Amino acid sequence: MNSNVRPESMARITTLELAKAFIDEQVKEVRAQVGDKKVLLALSGGVDSSVVAALLIKAIGKQLICVHVNHGLMRKDESENVVKIFGEELDANLVYVDATDRFLNLLAGVSDPESKRKIIGKEFIEVFADEARKLEGVEFLAQGTIYPDILESIKAAEGKKAVKSHHNVGGLPEDLKFELVEPIKLLFKDEVRVVGEALGLPHAMVYRQPFPGPGLGVRCLGAITRDRLGALREADAILRDEFDKCGLAEKVWQYFVVVPDIKSVGVKDESRYEGWPAIIRAVNTTDAMTASIEEIPYAVLHKITQRITNEVEGINRVLYDLTPKPVGTIEWE
Ligand code: XMP
């Protein structure tokens, strides 16, 4: 698939049958492109890179080397799931890198959101490049580029200004030159999900809500500390668990917890208890350019509040953010 333009004749992939035909075609194309050479892939665990990984495992098996970089800003159990699904169940050639200390040390004391994004993006490339240099005989780099990415680059090239620098993975250093393998670059997100299902990936992975590249880094507001990041991760896991249980997970486009760097006075076990607030955000959107607020039933909010304040060390209040986009962006940073 060499063209970056989706032909008008290309049918929208809406069924498992159409997805299977697409997969068969891509398996042939990838095999023809890479022959017996090795292919490297940065596997974040997001929908796009996961679908590319599953597709390439089908096409070239162990010739694919997946590198999962845990930047320490993943949600609870996320890296563990990548290892379980790809390393164990799909028996992929998977390199797992725990780079938590590298990232958190660099981020210590940095409070400006765009500086945080830049540090995370740059370090991600460095960690990935370090791993790539250790490998021999790799000639190809697979990427989970999808059609909206291509359309967005065209817009960027036309000089339209972005509100936030979303692109986390820039180019690799000069000494690492690979030919690109981009099997899903002409697909829209809904089509990628159908292809993922046809490849047998778990529903929760294929329908995973969007998660920003800088991860919890832009939800642990201001300068990140390990204790506040830990509290955020636990509170976020509780929110996700409760949304799963009441069916909201299927209905809401993106939902998460934000923990700002402020403390308020509370009381616990009859003593003063200073803690951070956990802010809940739950939005619906079609294109992330505008977003509306989901109406969460009061009983669900009540349960989440009870659980977070009882179970998460360091959090003593729960707030619900009612601000649509605009005027608030979806993320707080
Ligand atoms: P905002 O906050 O701009 O978010 O309204 C719109 C969508 O983009 C996601 N987002 C990011 N994704 N890197 C990403 O890959 C980023 O730096 C980033 N910042 C925001 C956000 O989660 C939402 O889905």
DSSP string, 172-234: PPTT---EEE-TTTT--HHHHHHHHHHTT--HHHHTPPP--TTGGGGTB-SS--HHHHHHHHH
pLDDT at 166: 61
Q: In this predicted model, what pLDDT tens digit does every residue of 77-128 receive, in sequence order?
A: 999 999 999 999 999 999 999 999 999 999 999 999 999 999 999 999 999 9
Q: Which atom of ligand 1 is nearest to the CA of 213?
A: 15
Backbone angles phi, psi at 162, to 5 degrees: -95, 150
pLDDT attached to residue 157: 78
pLDDT digits (tens, 9 = 90+) for 261-304: 999 999 999 999 999 999 999 999 998 999 999 999 999 999 99
- Per-residue pLDDT, 168: 45
Nearest residue (CA) to ligand 1, atom 17: 166
User: Tokens 């159990």 — which residue?
Assistant: 77
Joined tokens for residue 299 = 């009983």
Over residues 181-208, the mean pLDDT reads: 96
Could you give the CA distance from residue 46 to residue 192 in angstroms, rounded to a whole number?
11
**128 C-alpha vs ligand 1 centroid, how far in Å?**
22
Q: How many Å lie between the centroid of ligand 1 and the Cα of residue 289?
A: 10
Identify the three-state secondary structure at position 271: strand
CA distance 224 to 197: 36
Among 71, 330, 332, name the best residue to mutate to test ligand 1's pocket (greatest count of ligand atoms within 8 A of Cβ).
Answer: 330
What pLDDT does residue 29 have? 98
If one compares 234 and 2, the residue with the highest pLDDT of the two is: 234
In DSSP terms, 279 is beta-bridged to: 258, 319
Query: If we measure between CA atoms, which residue out of 58, 42, 29, 28 comes closest to residue 198?
Result: 58
Percentage of the chain modeled with pLDDT above 70 = 97
- Give the Å distance between the CA of 59 and the centre of ligand 1: 32
pLDDT, average across residues 199-225? 96
Quick check: 200 pLDDT over 80?
yes
What's the confidence (pLDDT) of residue 1?
55
Instruction: Please check the confidence at residue 63 and state whether its pLDDT lies above 80.
Output: yes
Quick one: pLDDT at residue 2? 62
| pLDDT for residue 159 | 77
Cα–Cα distance for residue pair 325/206, rounded to 1 Å: 26
Residue nearest to atom 10 of ligand 1 (CA): 212
Higher pLDDT pick, 166 / 303: 303
Q: How high does pLDDT run on average in the chain? A: 95
pLDDT higher than threshold 80 for residue 53:
yes
